[in-house]
C-alpha cells in the first residue's frame, strides 16, 4: 500500500498521491471551467458548455484507465479513509461514462428547450464528483459528504423545467423524501459512532466483531441500511421514484435511475462488506425482506403502467431488488466473493442497458411527443434501427442470453445459491418468479413495436440527433460486450482488495 506520511523532523508531512486523486481533481477543475465559460459565453453559444463538459468527463476518465492499467498496490490516503482500489476504479469509470452518455442525451434537448445549459452541466458534474468520491470513501463522514454532494444537485436537476408542474412536483418530492432519508442515515451513523467510538469502517468492523451486538449498535445498523435503501429506491422507500422519474426531464431521469441508484448501492456494498461484515444477523434478514419486496412490488406495479417512463421507473425499482439479493448473504457459506462480483457486474450491465432504453425513449418522443407505450406502435415500420436497439435493451433487462442482463442475473442467483441456506433458496425462487413477471411487460413493449400499427398512421422516419445516436452506440456496445465477455470487469471485484485496503 502506498503510504501517505513522510517523517520530516518531529512533524509528519503529508505526501499527497496526485495520480490517485487525479479523477477528482479533473472534475473539480472542470466544474470551475464550465461555470466560468458559461458566464463568458453569449446566449447563442451556450451549446459549447456541453462539449466542454464531455471533455471534462473524458479527461477524468483517462487517469482512471491509467490507474487500472498500472495496477499494483491499493492506494490509501487520509489515514485509510479514502482508498483507490480496483473496486473503486471500475465504479469511477461507470459514473464518468454514465455522466458522458447523459451529456450526449441531454445536449439537443437543452438546446431546443432553451433551458439553462451552463448551470445544468455544472450541477451534473458536481453530482458525478460526489459519486466518484463515494467509490473511494471508507469512513462514515466521507460517505455522507459524498452522498449529499451527489444528491443536492440531483434535487435541482429533477425540477429543471421550472415552468412544468410535473417537474416541480418531481423535484419537491425527491427533495423532501431525500432530506428525510438523509436524516435517518445521519442518525444511524451517529449511533454507530457513539457505540463504536470511530467513523472508520475497519474500526467499526473490529468493534462490532469484538462481542455480542448491543441494542445501540443494532439500531444504528438498521437506520444506516434504511437510509441507503431510500437512495436505491427499495420498497417501501421507493415512493419518490415513479413521480420523480416521470416529471423530471428524460435525460435527468436516466441519470437518476442509473448513476444515483448505483451510488447508493456502492455505499451499501461498502458498509456491508467493510463495516458490518459480522453483523449479518441484523442486516441479512432486513436486506432479504427489502430484496423480495422490491422485486415483487416493482414488477407487479410495472405490469399496469401505460406510460413508458413510469414503466421503466418501476422496472428500475424491481432491478434494484435483484441487485439487493446477493447482499443478504455476504457472510453465509461461500457467497461473499460471488456476491461482490454479482453486484459490480449487475451495476455495470444495468447502467448501459437502462441508459440505452432511455436514449431510445428520447429519440422516439422527439417525433411522437408522447410517453405512452402505445406511441411505440409500429415503430419497426419507420424506425427499424431504434426498434432493434430498444428490443436489445428490453431483452437485456429481461435477462435473455447472450446480452449483459443474463450474466448479471446469473451471477446474482449464483451468489444466493452459494450461501447454501434455506432462506437463500427461498429468495432465489422469489427472484425466478419475478424474472418471469418482468418479462411480461418488457415483451408487451416489444409486441407494440413489432406487431402493432402506428397509432396515428404516421410513418415518417425519425431523425436521431448525432449525440443521441452516439449514446445509443456506446450503450448498445456495452450491453452486448458485457454479456459475451463479462470477465473484462470481474477482476475489478476482488474481495481481497476491498477488505485488505482497510486492514493494511
| pLDDT at residue 9 in the model | 42
Q: Per-residue pLDDT for 503 more than 60?
A: no
Long-range contacts of 427-436 (CB under 8 A, 24+ apart): 427/288, 427/291, 427/292, 427/325, 427/328, 428/325, 430/291, 430/292, 430/295, 430/296, 431/291, 431/295, 431/321, 431/322, 431/325, 434/295, 434/296, 434/299, 434/318, 434/321, 434/322, 435/398, 435/399, 435/409
Are 290 and 324 contacting, i.e. CB atoms less than 8 angstroms apart?
yes
Closest CA to 373 of 317, 308, 320, 425: 308
Helix spans in 237-279 (H): 240-247, 250-255, 261-270
Residue 12 in this model has a pLDDT that exceeds 70: no
Q: State yes or no: pLDDT of 67 exceeds 90.
A: no
Pairing of strands 75-77, 82-84: antiparallel
CA-to-CA distance for 290 and 292, rounded, in angstroms? 6
pLDDT at 43 over 50: yes
Instruction: Determine how many CB atoms are found less than 10 A away from the CB of residue 490.
Output: 15
The whole-model pTM stands at 0.90
Per-residue pLDDT for 1 more than 80?
no
Question: Where residue 171 falls among pLDDT bands split at 50, 70, 90?
Answer: confident
Task: Using DSSP, state whether 8 is helix, strand or coil.
Answer: strand
How confident is the model at residue 434, as a pLDDT? Answer: 94
**Is 58's pLDDT higher than 50?**
yes
Pick from 1-5, 131-135, 223-227, 381-385: least confident: 1-5
Closest CA to 106 of 93, 123, 94: 123
Average pLDDT of 242-252? 86
Residue 59 has pLDDT above 50, yes or no: yes
Neighbours of 97 (CB within 10 A): 22
d(CA 302, CA 444): 11
Domain ranges of the chain: 5-503
Which tens digits make up the pLDDT trace of 354-380? 999 999 999 998 888 888 899 898 899
pLDDT of residue 2: 35
At 472, the pLDDT band (50, 70, 90 cuts) reads very high
Task: Give the Cβ contact number of residue 417 at 10 Å.
Answer: 17
Q: Is a pLDDT exceeding 70 seen at residue 270?
A: yes
* Mean predicted confidence (pLDDT) in 84-110: 90
Please enumerate in sequence order all residues whose Cβ is within 8 A of that of 268, keeping only pairs 6 or more positions apart, or say none: 225, 228, 229, 232, 327
Residue 371's pLDDT is 82
Average pLDDT over residues 412-416: 89
Residue bearing the bigger pLDDT, 188 or 86: 188
d(CA 309, CA 209): 44
Average pLDDT, the chain: 86
Residue 7 has pLDDT above 50, yes or no: no
Block residue for cell numbers 448498445: 476
Q: Is 33 left (phi over 0), alpha (psi -120 to 50) or beta?
A: alpha
DSSP summary character for residue 399 = T
Residue 263 predicted with pLDDT over 80: yes
Tell me what pLDDT residue 318 has.
Answer: 93
5 DSSP 8-state letter: E
Q: Which three cell numbers stand for residue 414?
A: 449464483
Burial class for 306, CB neighbours closer than 10 Å (0-12, 13-18, 19+): exposed
When mean pLDDT is compared across 51-55, 112-116, 160-164, 310-314, the lowest value belongs to 112-116
Average pLDDT over residues 445-461: 84
pLDDT at 491 (0 to 100): 62
Average pLDDT over residues 310-316: 91
Mean pLDDT score, 174-184: 90
pLDDT for residue 288: 93
Per-residue H/E/C for 371-392 = CEHHHHCCHHHHCHHHHHHHHH
How many CB atoms lie under 10 A from the CB of residue 473?
14
Amino acid at each position: 500500500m502506498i503510504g501517505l506520511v513522510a517523517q520530516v523532523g518531529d512533524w509528519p508531512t503529508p505526501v499527497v498521491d496526485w495520480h490517485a486523486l487525479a479523477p477528482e481533481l479533473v472534475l473539480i477543475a472542470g466544474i470551475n471551467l464550465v461555470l466560468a465559460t458559461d458566464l463568458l459565453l453569449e446566449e447563442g453559444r451556450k451549446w459549447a458548455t456541453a462539449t466542454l463538459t464531455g471533455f471534462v468527463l473524458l479527461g477524468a476518465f483517462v487517469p482512471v484507465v491509467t490507474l487500472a492499467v498500472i495496477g499494483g498496490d491499493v492506494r490509501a490516503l487520509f489515514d485509510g479513509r479514502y482508498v483507490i482500489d480496483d473496486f473503486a476504479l471500475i465504479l469511477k469509470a461507470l459514473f464518468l461514462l454514465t455522466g458522458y452518455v447523459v451529456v450526449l442525451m441531454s445536449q439537443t434537448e437543452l438546446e431546443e428547450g432553451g433551458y439553462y445549459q451552463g448551470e445544468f452541466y455544472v450541477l451534473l458534474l458536481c453530482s458525478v464528483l460526489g459519486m466518484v468520491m463515494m467509490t473511494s470513501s471508507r469512513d462514515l463522514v466521507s460517505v455522507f459528504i459524498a452522498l449529499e454532494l451527489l444528491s443536492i444537485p440531483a434535487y435541482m436537476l429533477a425540477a429543471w423545467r421550472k415552468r412544468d408542474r410535473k417537474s416541480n412536483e418531481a423535484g419537491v418530492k425527491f427533495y423532501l423524501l431525500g432530506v428525510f432519508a438523509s436524516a435517518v442515515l445521519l442518525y444511524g451513523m451517529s449511533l454507530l459512532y457513539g457505540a463504536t467510538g470511530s467513523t472508520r469502517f475497519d474500526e467499526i468492523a473490529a468493534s462490532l466483531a469484538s462481542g455480542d451486538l448491543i441494542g445501540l449498535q443494532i439500531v444504528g445498523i438498521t437506520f444506516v441500511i434504511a437510509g441507503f435503501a431510500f437512495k436505491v429506491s427499495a420498497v417501501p422507500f421507493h415512493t419518490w421514484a415513479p413521480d420523480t422519474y416521470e416529471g423530471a426531464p428524460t435525460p435527468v431521469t436516466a441519470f437518476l435511475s442509473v448513476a444515483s441508484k448505483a451510488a447508493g448501492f456502492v455505499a451499501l456494498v461498502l458498509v456491508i462488506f467493510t463495516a458490518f461484515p459480522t453483523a449479518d444477523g441484523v442486516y441479512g434478514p432486513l436486506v432479504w425482506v427489502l430484496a423480495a419486496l422490491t422485486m415483487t412490488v416493482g414488477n407487479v406495479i410495472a405490469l399496469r403502467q401505460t406510460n413508458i417512463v413510469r414503466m421503466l421507473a418501476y422496472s428500475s425499482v424491481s432491478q434494484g431488488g435483484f441487485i439487493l439479493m446477493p447482499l443478504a448473504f455476504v457472510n453465509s457459506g461461500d457467497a461473499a466473493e460471488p456476491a461482490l462480483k454479482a453486484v459490480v457486474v449487475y451495476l455495470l450491465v444495468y447502467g448501459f442497458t437502462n441508459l440505452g432504453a432511455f436514449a431510445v425513449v428520447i429519440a422516439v418522443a422527439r417525433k411522437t411527443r408522447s410517453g405512452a407505450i402505445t406511441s411505440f406502435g409500429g415503430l419497426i415500420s419507420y424506425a427499424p434501427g431504434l426498434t432493434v436497439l430498444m428490443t436489445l435493451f428490453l431483452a437485456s433487462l429481461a435477462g435473455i442470453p447472450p446480452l449483459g442482463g443474463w450474466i448479471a442475473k446469473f451471477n446474482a442467483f449464483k451468489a444466493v445459491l452459494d450461501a447454501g441456506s434455506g432462506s437463500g433458496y427461498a429468495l432465489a425462487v422469489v427472484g425466478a418468479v419475478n424474472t418471469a413477471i418482468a418479462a411480461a411487460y418488457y415483451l408487451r413493449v416489444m409486441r407494440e413495436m413489432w406487431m402493432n400499427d402506428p397509432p396515428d398512421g404516421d410513418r415518417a422516419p425519425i431523425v436521431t440527433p448525432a449525440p443521441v445516436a452516439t449514446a445509443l452506440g456506446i450503450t448498445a456496445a456495452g450491453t452486448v460486450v458485457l454479456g459475451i465477455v463479462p470477465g473484462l470487469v470481474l477482476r475489478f471485484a476482488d474481495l481481497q482488495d476491498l477488505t485488505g485496503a482497510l486492514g493494511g
